[in-house]
Every structure is written in C-alpha cells, then in structure tokens.
Amino acid sequence: MNSINKIPVIEEKRTNPLARVFDEFVRFCRSRSLFILHYCTGCGAIELPPAMTSRFDMERLGIQPMVSPRQADILLITGYVSIKTLKRVILTYEQMGSPKYVIGICSCTVNGGMYWQSYATAKKLDEYMPVDLYIAGCMPRPEAVLAGLQKLMDRIHSGEANSWEDYFRNYDYYLGNQQKLFGENWQTPTDIITEAKHYDLIGEGTLGKHTQILEQHQKPLEALDMRLGHDLKEPTE
C-alpha cells in the first residue's frame, strides 16, 4: 500500500472545457457498474452469498458476479492464500482487463491471520499484487463487505482507486516477490511489459533485475492468427 503514495501524479492539460465533465461522467459510470470475480480461497466466501442475495442485495449498488476475468472489474479474494493458490490468483489477476481492482477479505489476506505460522501460506497479499482495499475481520459480516464495496465505489468515483497502475509501474517489485516464492522459472501467459507499454504506464520500477530473469526464459504465447492457409508451407518433416 505504501507504494501507491509513491506514484508520481502527472497533471495533464485538458484543453476541452467539457473534458472534466466527461471524465466525471466516466468515473461515475465506472463506479456504478462493477462485476466481481470472486476467487473464493477460504472461509470468507461464506459471507458472500448473503451479501449477494435478497437480504443485503449488493446488486442494488450495481455490483454483481461475473464468471470470467476478462469481463470482471473486481477480484475478490476471500481468505488465506496458499502458495499454490497464489499462482492461480496472479494468473487470474493478470488476465483481467484494466482498470481492475483487488479486494482482500478476512485477516488472512492482510497478514496471514491464523495461518501466520504456516509454511505454505502467502502472508501479505499486497506483496504480490496491488490491493485496493482490505476488509479485515475473521470473518467480516456482510454489512462489512457491503461497506467495503461502497468505500471502493467512492474511491473509484473520486479517482483514487488506481492501484492497478502500480502493478505496471512497479512490476519488477511484484515479480521479485513472486519469484522469491515460486522460483525463477515463474511465468504467466500474460506479457505485462507489453501491456504496460500499451497503457503507457512504463515507470522506473517496471523493468529491473527480476524482469531480466523473466526475459531469459520467457516463452511468449502468440495469439493464433486467422489464416486462409493456401500459402502455408508444408510441415518440414
């Protein structure tokens, strides 16, 4: 969380007088149409059904579940993250389209909680990916979950919830922590550096010694090209 404050804020000059109105409108819409991908890792998941269904009804806030990361806005991690699970969580996080937000529910995501002494549990989630919001408690009640979600909505509306940019700007730091846990051969299908270039979010911390290690063994996954194939060469075998 500390690193968020380090992000240099670049004030762009907007010449269009309607630009601020438009920006405000976009942020308003963004904050009121949120799709959650809930990655239910632990016991906190049990508090989500009441939050979703008729008693607390998070859909009245414009929040509803989504089945795939490509269309989701919020990644909800509900409990302790074992090292095996963490790999999947990172894969899923990287597959989400920006802007994306991460919420850690339960004490386990904050500091490991009751699994503090476990050798197989990642203690602090925000060492591996930027977390926008923690909802602490063991476990937090649905009211707390909803209050947290509302807090996130406010932060999106005010433009403060931009920690996803931090993942691109300080990729080397996060990758270093990931490599420390998973070994140096660690690789996900998503090419974060290319994406950082795409979003124009290359910062000082994007590249470093950890990304160099990654580049040495990275096998890029190129998208399948649509081809008619008439000019295709026969396989040489």
Partner 1 sequence: MTLTPLDELFLYSGITVLVALLLGRRLPAGWMVTILYGIQLLALMKMAPLGYGGEPISSALTFEVMGQSLSWRFDALSWYFALITLGSALLSSWYACGEWEQRFRQSGGNLWLFHLAMTLNVFSMLILLASGDLLSLFIGWELVSWAGFLLMAMAGGVATKAAMRYITYAMAGAMAIFGGIALVYVSAGSLQYEAILTAASQMSTAHLWMLVILFGAGFGIKMGLMPFHLWQAPAYAETPGPGSAFLGAISSRMGLFAILLVLVKLFGIVNIDSLKIPFTLIDARDLLAWIAVFTIIFPTFTAMKQNDARQLLAWHGIGQGGYMLLGLVVADAMGAAGGLLHVFNHATYQAALFMAVTAVIHRTGTADLNKLGGLVVRMPLTFMVLLVGIIGLAGLPPMNGFVSKWLVYRSLLNEGMPLLFVAAVIGTLGTILSVYKLIHNIFLGQLRVEHDNVKEAPWSMMIPMLILTAIIFITGLLPGIPLAWVASVQQAVGLPVPDYTLGGVESASGSLDMIWVIGVLFAGFGIGALIFYFAGGRSKRVHQLDNYAGGHFLTADVRYQYSDNFYAGLMHLIGGWYRGSFLWLEQSVKSLVEFLSLGMQGLYRRANAEFYLLSTALFVIAWVVI
Determine if 235 is a binding residue for partner 1 (CB under 8 A): yes
Q: Which of residues 43-82 bind partner 1 (CB under 8 A)?
A: 68-70
CA atoms of 125 and 105, how far apart (whole Å): 10
- H helical segments located in the chain: 2-5, 19-31, 48-52, 83-95, 107-111, 142-158, 163-169, 171-182, 192-199, 209-217
Q: Tell me the closest approach of the beta carbon of residue 236 to partner 1, in angstroms.
A: 10
Q: Is 139 left (phi over 0), alpha (psi -120 to 50) or beta?
A: beta
| Distance (Å, whole) CA 6 – CA 176 | 18
First to last CA, the chain: 54
185 forms part of the interface with partner 1 (CB under 8 A): no
Secondary structure class of 36 (helix, strand, coil): strand
Residue of 88, 197, 209, 217 interacting with partner 1 (CB under 8 A)? 88
Closest distance of CB 190 from partner 1, Å = 6
Nearer of residues 147 and 221 to partner 1, judged by Cβ? 221
How many angstroms separate the CA atoms of 82 and 155, rounded?
Answer: 29
Contact between 38 and partner 1 by CB under 8 A: the answer reads: no
**Which residues touch 122 (CB under 8 Å, ≥6 apart)?**
81, 82, 83, 86, 112, 128, 181
Stretch binding partner 1 (CB under 8 A), from 2-10, 42-50, 89-97, 163-171: 89-97
- Is residue 189 involved in binding partner 1 (CB under 8 A)? yes
With respect to partner 1, which residue has the nearer C-beta, 9 or 226? 226
Which of 190, 205, 213, 218: binder of partner 1 (CB under 8 A)? 190
Please work out the total of residues on this chain that contact partner 1, with binding judged by CB under 8 A. 26
The site for partner 1 (CB under 8 A) is made up of 39, 68-70, 85, 87-89, 91-92, 95, 189-190, 221-230, 232, 234-235
